Structure 1
Amino acid sequence: MKVEQKDRELIQAARETIDRNFDLVNERHTVGAAVRCKNGNIYTGVNLYSIHGSCAEFIAIGAAITAGEREFETIVAARTSSEGGVLLPPCGNCREMLVRYAPDIEVLMESDNGAEKFSIQELIPRH
């Protein structure tokens, strides 16, 4: 799917979030995520390191839900832009969470052509 200006703004929000919170010294925060709701509101999050860990996508979706949001449009996760700003695909755990909480969400991630948008349904294995 085509990446639009609002998608580039969402990518920038994820990059700014991790740039503000990056902590490689203590190995705490290395990924930032941003989710845009269908009403245009954007929520962000960073990953949390612990024995169980929490991906940045979980934190961003959790922040949106805490604020009362229930309809999600697009999500993106990024490493710090000082490392090139790589867009990351969601892990299997995040994919499962997104299917449950946002079955129609689109995911921005890197492809051979740069940033590209995929339906979460395209990213789930089928039997």
Structure 2
Amino acid sequence: MQLDQKLVDAAVAQLDRRWPSDEQGGAAAIYLDDGQILTSVGLDNLNGGVSLCHETGAICQAYTLDKKVTASVCVYRDPGRERVLVLPPCGICQERLALWGPDVQVGVPDDFAVTGWSVRTLRDVNPFYWGSQFTDDGAWPGPEAHFS
């Protein structure tokens, strides 16, 4: 499945279910290769070191189900500016999503797009992926490399 407005809307719907519209918060949604959408939110915790990114729950659920992730989007409500932002995946979530390869699509902010966001692949957002240094041909490592 390709990242589209339906996936962004699923993330926003999860955001709205979890936090009132006047509170800041975030949520994520991912597409699986069978078209299923999984959503999640990050943990709020007094100790920021134990908090999790919004995508983590959905990523873990996909892995638990042994399903391939094809697209991921993270949204954040900025109540002071009264808008919902699409956030690019942080480096840790890029690493988590790398399990499914360089063609996983992710949402990124784009002020020039009508929607305020656009789609990139992991390869686009991380063209110098460190894991490629450990393959014989310099290619993005396949899922089997993540298990060794």
Shared fold per TM-score greater than 0.5: yes
Which residue number in structure 1 is paired with residue 25 of structure 2?
A: 30
1:19–1:81: 8 Å Cα contact kept in structure 2? no
Q: Which has the larger radius of gyration?
A: 2
Deviations 1:76-125 (A, max 9, x none): 000138631110111111111111x2213100122122221000111125
Does residue 19 (structure 1) correspond to residue 16 (structure 2)? The answer is yes
State how far apart, in whole Å, the 2-side matches of 1:97 and 1:23 are: 29
Identity %, equivalent residues: 29
Which residue number in structure 2 is paired with residue 119 of structure 1?
A: 121
User: Which segments of 5 or more consecutive residues in structure 1 lack a partner in the other structure?
Assistant: none
State how far apart, in whole Å, the 2-side matches of 1:106 and 1:57 are: 13
Does residue 48 (structure 1) correspond to residue 43 (structure 2)? The answer is yes
Task: Select between 85-94 and 32-41 the one with higher mean Cα deviation.
Answer: 85-94
Deviation, 1:63, is 2.1
Cα root mean square deviation, aligned? 2.6
Q: Which has the higher contact order (CA 8 A, sep 6+)?
A: 1
State how far apart, in whole Å, the 1-side matches of 2:127 and 2:70 are: 21
User: Which segments of 5 or more consecutive residues in structure 2 lack a partner in the other structure?
Assistant: 131-148
State how far apart, in whole Å, the 2-side matches of 1:106 and 1:46 are: 19
Deviations 1:22-68 (A, max 9, x none): 2699x9x81100000111000000011233211011111112223x1
State how far apart, in whole Å, the 1-side matches of 2:28 and 2:57 are: 8
Deviation, 1:70, is 2.3
**Cα distance change on mapping 1:84 and 1:24 into 2, 3 Å:** closer
Aligned length: 119
2:122 maps to a residue whose letter is I
**Equivalent residue for 2:67, pick from 46, 70, 86:** 70
